[in-house]
Structure 1
Amino acid sequence: MDIRLVRIDDRLIHGQVATVWTKLSKAERILVISDEVAQDHLRKTLLRQAAPPGVKVNVIPVEKFVEIYFDDTHNQFRAMLLFTNPTDVARIVQRGVQIDFVNIGSMSYSDGKKMITNAVAVDKRDIQAFEYLNYKGIHLDIRKVVADNKVDLMQVLKKEGLV
């Protein structure tokens, strides 16, 4: 599998992903990797309908993705991986999936989270996952839209006194 983009965006497939990020990455397939979303029939249907023309969308649990990643019969496509949170990204890395970078687009605020940018809120669990990914040498950049300048997530966390 040729992984073109790994993105955390709790909105998953929306206008920017469907048009700009997919075109920029030249992805043929969008893989939404989430145990929760994979169990939600309505959400899966809506995500498939939001795909740009010519791009297939699969919504799969984390462990299923790991199986597919290591199965050479399923590795003949260019993929964009979409996640709702950094913990699931850390889970695939712990299982041996090789990635070099993660783009963080949007992580919504909820109780217990701290806003670190206008689009990214984190809690202790998110920070632990990001620290692990950083430790593994994976570059973590915040960019909500393609035109935004890349912002190093770990520098933001340090500036906020969270790491």
Structure 2
Amino acid sequence: MIINLVRIDDRLIHGQVTTVWTKEAKAERIIVVSDEVANDEIRATLVKQAAPPGTKVSVVSIEKAVAVYKNIKYEHDTVFYLFTNPTDVLRLIQAGVPIKNVNIGGMSFKAGKKQITKAVSVDENDVSAFRKMHDIGVNLYLKVVITDPFVDFIKLLEQEFPY
């Protein structure tokens, strides 16, 4: 499997993803990787319906994403992975999927989270997952919309959560 883009955006498939990021990814398939979404039939159906015309979309658990990645049948398929949070990305990496770059697009503010940019709020679990990814060499960058400049996400994170 050829990974063209990995993005964390808890809104999953929405206007920016449909009109811009899918084109940028140049991928045959969007794969939403989330145990939570995969186990929520209504949400999974809505995500699939929001996809751009002509784009295949799968909503799968982390376990299934690993199995599909390792299946030789899909070795030439190009994919755009979408996640709702960094912990799920880290779990996929730890299971052997070689993710090298992660675009952080949007993580909503909720109770227990600290807002670090207009579009990104994190809690301690998120911070831990981002640090672990950084420590193993994953490039983490903030780019909410395609026209935004690349921002080194770990530097931004360390300003708010020093080691």
TM category, shorter? over 0.9
The answer (yes or no) to whether the contact 1:62–1:91 under 8 Å persists in 2 is: yes
**TM-score, reference length from structure 2:** 0.97
Amino acid at match of 1:94: Q
- In the TM superposition, what whole-angstrom CA distance separates every residue of 1:87-144 from its partner, at most 9, and x where no partner exists? 0000011111101100000000111110010000001000000001001101000111
Over the matched positions of the two proteins, sequence identity in percent amounts to 53
Shift of 1:6: 0.2
Q: How far apart, CA to CA, are the structure 2 residues paired with 1:44 and 1:113? A: 25
Q: In 2, distance between residues paired with 1:143 and 1:130?
A: 15
TM-score by length of 1: 0.97
- Whether 1:71 aligns to 2:71 is yes
Amino acid at match of 2:118: N
SS of residue in 1 equivalent to 2:36: helix
**Deviation for aligned residue 1:41:** 1.0
SS in 2 for 1:117: coil
Q: How far, CA to CA, are the matches of 1:57 and 1:132 in structure 2?
A: 28
Any conservation in 2 of the 1:68–1:75 contact (CA below 8 Å)?
no
Unaligned runs of 5+ in 1: none
What is the letter of the counterpart of residue 160 of structure 1? Answer: E
* Distance in 2 of aligned mates of 1:161 and 1:83: 22
Q: Distance in 1 between matches of 2:93 and 2:114?
A: 25
Aligned partners of 2:53, 2:2: CA distance in 1, in Å? Answer: 20
Per the alignment, in what secondary structure is the counterpart of residue 111 of structure 1? coil
Shift of 1:44: 1.2
